[in-house]
Amino acid sequence: MTSPSQDQPAFRLSPGWLAAALAGSVAPAGVLALAGDARVMGPVFAVGMMGAGMIAAAVAGRSRVGVMVALLNGAALVLLAWALGLPAIRDPLAAVLAAILASVSFAVRGELFARSAAPRGWWVALAVVAGEAAVLLTAIAMPGVWPGWVLALLPAQWATLALRSALTGTGTQVAGAALIALAGTAAATALVIRLWPRRWTYLVMFTTWLGLSALVWETTL
């Protein structure tokens, strides 16, 4: 008769979950603490939720896991911002709506990466998060370095616009376009997952992404 310790493997923290923690929690928390500036709250919250939700969904292979992790991570970052004395959220209901739509949008992309690039889907998610985070951070540090149409292509920027509107209580038209973009791309990506492995659905997803990016760009001009 074998002992329980022999029947069950010892728990090991997988590299994917470690990447989700670093990209979603540790790095954004460090930026928030070091900057101590309300201007970084929107992008930090967006990138943190993206890192946590997308990578977690890619690791688990389920979008609902990514949504849950992203929302919990977002709540933790909000608490950290309050502890640092940063401004409170002006419109909590708008912030909750933006967080939910952003989490769903990020998580379904993570699940798609899990299906299309298994078992290394989380590597793809990590690369996407790192790329979008780099663009947003350089845009803050050096305003004007990126043309507006480049920023309009990034779902992380859409989440930033929606969350920034909730934080400041302004820019409702821009936030509305960003929320539509997040919801639309989430639906298109979910269609790809549902009809997997049919490849023609990618055309629907990319067409939706480009069309909604144009909507965000026109609204932010």
What is the per-residue pLDDT across 21-61, written as a single tens digit (0 to 9) for each? 999 999 999 999 998 888 899 999 999 999 999 999 999 99
State how many domains the chain has.
1
Residue 1 forms part of a structural domain = no
Rg for the chain (alpha carbons), in Å?
18
Are the beta carbons of 162 and 101 closer than 8 angstroms?
yes
Calpha distance 195→188 (Å, rounded)? 11
In a domain, 5, yes or no: no
pLDDT tens digits, 162-198: 999 999 888 888 999 999 999 999 999 999 999 999 9
**pLDDT tens across 61-78, in order?**
999 999 999 999 999 999
- What is the rounded CA–CA span in Å between residue 160 and residue 2? 53
Provide the domain limits for residue 212: 15-220
Structural domain includes residue 196: yes
Tokens of 163: 């969350």
Q: Does some domain include residue 197?
A: yes
**Structural domain contains residue 202:** yes
Whether residue 161 lies inside any domain: the answer is yes
In Å, how far are 4, 36, 58, 80 from 108, measured between CA atoms?
36, 31, 9, 27
Structure tokens at 78: 């909000």
Per-residue DSSP letter, 9: P
Q: Give this prediction's pTM.
A: 0.91
In-domain check, residue 173: yes
Q: Domain for residue 170, yes or no?
A: yes
